[in-house]
């Protein structure tokens, strides 16, 4: 995680134009944020992450628009805002209270990750606030797809230069983490396959399908078991819901194929096919890869068991958002996360935080009409699989894809690419 600060000349040069753009052209700021969201390695180069401050700027702009603007003031429901505000308040209070149990560095790291969640949430609110109609939505989708295409091509190039040279190190492209890359591209591949179905002109269909295929290839090249399983489920759910309703026979086929693929994947992994795919012919490298992977899997299992223990010790408010790695290190000597979004949520925020975030998600789902909920199902299914093997509450790039596809589903109905909702009427 970047440890630098934006309080520098470089910070001023980067953030000042973004602040001006957000203040006077919020839609363009949202579009540009969508384009740059998956390039987390910029934070490594700068020493600090501009996406964090930029997301907070978008949130402030949304609050200003809701307070002073005359249009589209009620697109984000009061239930969503209330649940989100209470969740953030509870998390902030628990983090403050747990500060005495952690080092200053660990407390700062946990707070930073919480702010990433806040910034990503504010991006969703900005999308709902400033994207009005299919023309603006199509622009956002094209920029989001372009970003996914660039990341996918970068992943392919990195795979050729890494695996082709005999290295067993997995690719991470612009996200500096193979699992985050796999989840991001899996969601992008599933999402843009859906978008391609709703386009009217052939050029758009070819573009979005091309992005979906490129992201599928990028996901496979990460060698992430969860990423590959999630994108397969996503594509199969697209097939099962292509008529605009859930075909239960196709859904049964989906689950059968996914179960078969999961079993085959587990068997292949047990026989070390994962290491062989990296083109490593050196027995010492293969043995080293086996040892490293076995150690990672064992530490993940111990982390999951310790997370369950923490849930039992702090069932109401949790032990603190994103404090689990530090607590796991203090207790077991492993600085390892839960690798499970739901365990992360329960261990960090307890029953109160889980109920509040669940209320927020339920309200967002309730805001979609039935065609929109069915349209979003493949993306939700894809994320559900990935979330069982990674913690993504603080992942801006993943939440951006989920948010863009949510707004896409919110605007859809029937078989054509047409708005499903009208903007809130201008108050007289």
Whether residues 36 and 173 share a domain: the answer is no
Residue 417 in any domain: the answer is no
HSE toward the beta carbon, residue 10, CA cutoff 13 A = 11
Answer whether residue 388 is part of any domain.
yes
Rounded to the nearest angstrom, the gap between the alpha carbon of residue 110 and the centroid of all alpha carbons in its chain is 18
Same domain, 53 and 116: no
Looking at the structure, do residues 102 and 52 belong to the same domain, yes or no? Answer: no
List pLDDT tens digits, range 299-351.
677 888 889 999 999 999 999 999 999 998 888 887 888 889 999 999 999 99
Q: Are residues 17 and 157 in the same domain?
A: no
> CA-to-CA distance for 134 and 412, rounded, in angstroms?
9
Would residue 292 count as lying in a domain? Answer: yes
Judged by DSSP in three states, 244 sits in coil
Domain limits at 33? 1-71
Q: Note the pLDDT of residue 57.
A: 95
Same domain? For 36 and 108 the reply is no
Report CA torsion sign: 196, 150, 181, 348: negative
Q: Are 223 and 231 in contact (CB under 8 A)?
A: no
d(CA 320, CA 349): 6
Residues 6+ apart with CB under 8 A from 13: none
Domain check: are 65 and 89 in the same one?
no
Closest CA to 71 of 106, 26, 103: 26
Does any domain span residue 420?
A: no
Dist CA 125 CA 398 (whole Å)? 15
Same domain, 113 and 36: no
Query: Is residue 49 a part of any domain in this protein?
Result: yes
CA–CA gap between residue 322 and residue 114 (Å, rounded)? 7
Q: What's the token pair of residue 319?
A: 């032990």
Q: Are residues 246 and 382 in the same domain?
A: yes
Q: Are residues 358 and 316 in the same domain?
A: yes
Question: Which pLDDT value is given to residue 288?
Answer: 42
Confirm whether 425 is domain-assigned: no
Exposed, middle or buried, 89 (CB in 10 Å: 0-12/13-18/19+)?
exposed
Tokens, residue 47: 């020493």
Same domain, 262 and 326: yes
The domain boundary residue, chosen from 52, 71, 90: 71
H helices of 272-395, in order, are 273-277, 283-313, 324-332, 341-366, 370-387
Do both 217 and 268 map to the same domain?
A: yes
Provide the pLDDT for residue 250: 65
**Does one domain contain both 11 and 110?**
no
**Residue ending a domain, choose from 16, 48, 71:** 71
Low-confidence spans in the chain with pLDDT less than 50: 73, 266, 269-280, 284-295, 297-298, 414-428
User: CA 425, CA 404: separation in Å to the nearest integer?
Assistant: 23
Confirm if 126 and 142 have CB atoms less than 8 A apart: no
What's the total number of domains in the chain? 2
Instruction: Give me the pLDDT at residue 263, please.
Output: 59
């Amino acid at each position: 995680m970047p440890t630098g600060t934006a309080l520098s000349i470089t910070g001023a040069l980067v953030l000042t134009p973004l602040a001006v753009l957000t203040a006077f052209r919020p839609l363009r700021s949202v579009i540009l944020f969508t384009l740059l969201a998956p390039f987390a390695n910029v934070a490594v180069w700068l020493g600090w992450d501009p996406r964090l401050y930029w997301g907070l700027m978008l949130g402030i702009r949304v609050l200003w628009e809701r307070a002073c603007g005359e249009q589209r003031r009620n697109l984000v429901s009061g239930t969503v805002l209330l649940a989100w505000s209470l969740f953030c308040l509870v998390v902030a209070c628990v983090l403050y209270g747990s500060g005495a149990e952690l080092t200053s560095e660990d407390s700062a790291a946990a707070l930073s990750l919480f702010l990433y969640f806040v910034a990503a949430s504010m991006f969703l609110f900005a999308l709902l606030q400033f994207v009005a109609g299919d023309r603006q939505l199509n622009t956002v989708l094209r920029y989001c797809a372009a970003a996914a295409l660039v990341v996918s091509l970068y992943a392919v190039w990195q795979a050729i230069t890494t695996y082709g040279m005999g290295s067993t190190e997995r690719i991470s492209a612009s996200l500096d983490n193979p699992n985050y890359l796999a989840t991001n591209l899996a969601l992008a591949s599933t999402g843009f396959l859906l978008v391609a179905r709703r386009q009217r002109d052939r050029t758009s269909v070819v573009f979005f399908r091309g992005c979906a295929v490129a992201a599928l290839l990028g996901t496979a090249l990460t060698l992430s078991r969860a990423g590959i399983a999630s994108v397969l489920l996503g594509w199969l759910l697209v097939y099962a819901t292509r008529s605009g309703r859930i075909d239960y026979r196709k859904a049964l086929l989906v689950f059968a194929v996914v179960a078969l693929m999961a079993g085959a994947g587990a068997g292949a992994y047990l026989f070390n096919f994962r290491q062989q795919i990296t083109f490593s012919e050196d027995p010492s490298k293969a043995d080293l890869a086996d040892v490293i992977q076995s150690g990672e899997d064992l530490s993940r299992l111990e982390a999951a068991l310790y997370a369950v223990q923490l849930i039992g010790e702090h069932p109401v408010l949790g032990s603190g958002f994103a404090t689990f790695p530090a607590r796991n290190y203090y207790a077991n000597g492993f600085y390892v996360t839960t690798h499970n979004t739901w365990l992360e949520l329960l261990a960090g925020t307890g029953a109160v935080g889980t109920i509040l975030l669940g209320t927020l998600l339920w309200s967002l789902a309730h805001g979609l009409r039935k065609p929109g909920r069915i349209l979003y199902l493949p993306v939700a299914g894809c994320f559900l699989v990935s979330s069982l093997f990674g913690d993504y509450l603080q992942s801006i790039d993943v939440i951006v894809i989920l948010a863009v596809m949510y707004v896409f589903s919110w605007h859809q109905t029937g078989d054509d690419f047409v708005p499903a909702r009208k903007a809130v009427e201008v108050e007289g």
